Amino acid sequence: MTDTSEAGSRGRWSAETDRVLRAAGWRPGRSVPTAEWERVLHEHGGFEMHEAARRFLAEFGGLASEERGPGRTMARMGFRLDPLAAEWDDEIFDVLSEEAGAYLYPVGEADRRNTYLGIAPDGKVYAGMDSVTLLAETADRALEKLMEGIR
């Protein structure tokens, strides 16, 4: 997360993912405060932010992309990395967490608000609304799958 070279994150993800993230406002070393998201979600839904969510949101929170279209193995979906997308949907996250077998903290939404994104304490990222699917084992891989349209 401290790489400040122009190539930035080549080792973390693909050049295309890097391009989309930078267009959305990300840069190496980016850090935004998470306290307000944590406060609001705790007050409105009883959500308890864990360290994996805090790290993810500090680096990527607030980013959004409307890029859609063909991807590598599925259509690319726009996304918004704003945990307040789930502010009033704690019951949905209870069900998604139960299905995932891990407590999921909301980190955003994808596909025009049709899919929530949640992160488990071990850093795995899940996607779902009516049911949950493991999107990726790591946040970096989840971002790459979202941005490049990889199933």
In a domain, 7, yes or no: no
Show the beta-strand stretches assigned E in 1-148.
64-65, 79-80, 105-110, 115-119, 125-128, 132-136
Q: What's the CA gap between 84 and 29, in Å, rounded? A: 23
In a domain, 6, yes or no: no
Range(s) of the domain holding residue 92: 15-148
In a domain, 88, yes or no: yes
- pLDDT tens digits, residue range 91-106? 999 999 999 999 999 9
111: domain CATH number?
3.40.1580
In a domain, 9, yes or no: no
Backbone angles phi, psi at 117, to 5 degrees: -115, 130
In a domain, 10, yes or no: no
Please tell me the predicted confidence (pLDDT) of residue 70: 61
Which pTM was predicted? 0.88
Overall domain count for the chain: 1
In a domain, 92, yes or no: yes
Element spanning 28, H or E: none
- pLDDT tens digits, residue range 54-89? 999 999 999 998 877 666 766 677 899 999 999 999
Answer left, alpha or beta for residue 84, where phi above 0 means left and psi between -120 and 50 means alpha.
Answer: alpha
In a domain, 96, yes or no: yes
- pLDDT tens digits, residue range 15-63? 989 999 999 999 999 999 999 999 999 999 899 999 999 999 999 999 9
In a domain, 82, yes or no: yes
